[in-house]
A and B are shown apart, each in its own frame.
Chain A
Amino acid sequence: IRPVQASPDITGKVEESIKSAEETCAGDATSGECVAAWDEVEELSAAASHARDKKKTSDPLEEYCKDNPETDECRTYDN
Chain B
Amino acid sequence: MAACTVYSTQPLRTNISIPTSSKTHVGFNQKQVVFYTTTKKSSNRRTNSNNRRYLITCGAGDSQTIVIGLAADSGCGKSTFMRRLTSVFGGAAEPPKGGNPDSNTLISDTTTVICLDDYHSLDRTGRKEKGVTALDPRANDFDLMYEQVKAIKEGVSVQKPIYNHVTGLLDPPELIKPPKILVIEGLHPMYDSRVRDLLDFSIYLDISNEVKFAWKIQRDMAERGHSLESIKASIEARKPDFEAYIDPQKQYADAVIEVLPTQLIPDDNEGKILRVRLIQKEGVKYFSPVYLFDDGSTISWIPCGRKLTCSYPGIKFSYGPETYKGNEVSVVEMDGQFDRLDELIYVESHLSNLSSKFYGEVTQQMLKHADFPGSNNGTGLFQTIVGLKIRDLFEQIVASRAETPVGAAKA
Contacts and interface: CB of A to CB of B under 8 A. Distances in A.
B113 to A, nearest CB: 14
Interface string A35-48: 11111111111111
A73 B226 CA distance: 42
A38 to B, nearest CB: 4
Contacts of A43: 74, 124, 134, 165, 168
B219 to A, nearest CB: 5
Contacts of B132: 32, 35-36
B133 interface: yes
B165 A35 contact: no
B131 A33 contact: yes
Given A46-B74, A49-B220, A34 B237 contact: yes
Interface in B321-339: none
Q: Chain A contact residues: over half helix, strand or loop, or mixed?
A: helix
B130 A32 contact: yes
A10 B131 contact: no
A41 B234 contact: yes
Contact of B225 (A19, A47, A49, A52): A19
B233 A36 contact: no
Of the four ranges (under 10, 10 to 19, 20 to 34, 35 or more), the interface on chain B belongs to: 20 to 34
A14 B225 contact: yes
Contacts of A5: 222-224
Interface string A1-32: 00111100011011110110110010001011
B166 A40 contact: no
Nearest to B76: A46
Contact of A35 (B133, B221, B224): B133
A14 B241 CA distance: 22
Given A14-B224, A14-B226, 14 more contacts: A10-B166, A14-B223, A21-B233, A22-B230, A25-B237, A32-B132, A35-B131, A35-B240, A35-B241, A36-B128, A37-B237, A38-B238, A39-B237, A45-B234
Interface of B: 74-75, 79, 124, 127-128, 130-135, 165-166, 168, 216, 219-226, 230, 233-234, 237-238, 240-241
19 contacts: A5-B223, A11-B223, A16-B225, A19-B225, A21-B234, A22-B230, A22-B233, A25-B233, A32-B132, A33-B131, A35-B240, A36-B131, A39-B237, A39-B238, A42-B74, A43-B74, A44-B165, A46-B165, A47-B165
Closest 10 CB pairs of A and B: A32-B131, A3-B222, A15-B225, A38-B237, A39-B133, A47-B165, A38-B234, A18-B225, A46-B74, A35-B237
